[in-house]
Amino acid sequence: MDMKTYLLDILNRYNRFSDNLDIKTILCNKSWQIFNNTGYKELYIFQEDGSLIASSKGNVINATWKYISANKSLIISFKEQSYMLHPSFLDNLLFVLQKDGTEEYLFMINEEHSNIFQPKSLNDLTFYLKRQKEVEEKKQLQHEQAIRAERQRIQEENKLKHYKEQWITCRKQLWEQQRYKILNSSLEYQTALKNKKKWRTIKFIIFLLFLCYWGWYIFYGIDYINQFKGFSWWALFIVTTFTLSFPAFIVLCLIKPYKTPTRYEEELKQNFINKID
């Protein structure tokens, strides 16, 4: 059986095939229609066991095939002749193999898609490959543009980050220089300082009251309670208030019914540092 191969200049400039692809997976379980300019239908069906069913005008010939990974070549053997071919181009419609040592090509069309791709001449193949090359170049250009845009975006982000870090450093230094002036001019901060002083005075007075009560209880209250022979609501009240006075005093020391000057200062500092003039 004679294998139809053709010269096509564009394939010398447009080679698209990955060496990582599995040839067996590509070839087997598909029906490949062989391009020819005779008008006769010719099919290759590659079997996983290495056999090849070749049909030309309905006449079937049994042949064999084998992929040699050492030199990335496909050996197709008919009874009369064997051919060594190298994968050159592959997409979902077309598989092109180059005849070893020549610039001739075998064109195999996936019959599953032959209803949408049925080249009648080498011009049709040339047009299709040119269009695929243009699409590939356009995709490559878009990919390169996307990479450049991403690099530019990262550079801009890094510049902005560096500028922000410098700005924050400068503002922190300026804050340390103007801290007292800013705090003295802040009405909220000054009010918080006054509230802090008021609350400190209130706590001190309450502490003195607690201290007086504890002193009275220790020196007089216990004896007073012991005077009652039986149950007394008044004695129970004194014992209860004395017992609860300790946790009440601790809670009083912990609570702060106002925003502290420290919090105001931190807010003023953050607003000052993050301010953009």
Domain range list for the chain: 6-119, 121-184, 186-274
Q: What percentage of residues in the chain have a pLDDT greater than 90?
A: 35
pTM of the complete model: 0.56
Half-sphere exposure of 88 (CA within 13 A, CB side): 24
Judged against a pLDDT cut of 70, whether residue 110 lies above it is answered with yes
- State the average pLDDT over residues 146-175: 93
Task: Name, in order, each residue with C-beta under 8 angstroms of 55's C-beta and a sequence gap of 6 or more.
Answer: 41, 42, 43, 45, 61
Reported as type and span, the H/E element at residue 43 is strand 42-46
For 6-119, the fitting CATH number among 2.40.128.270, 1.10.238.10, 2.40.50.140, 3.40.50.10440 is 2.40.128.270
Choose between 18 and 161: higher pLDDT.
161
Judged against a pLDDT cut of 90, whether residue 76 lies above it is answered with yes
Q: Where are the alpha helices (DSSP H) in the chain?
A: 10-13, 23-27, 122-184, 187-216, 222-226, 233-254, 261-274
How many whole angstroms separate alpha carbon 156 and alpha carbon 168?
A: 18
How many whole angstroms separate alpha carbon 172 and alpha carbon 178?
A: 10
Closest CA to 47 of 69, 32, 68: 32
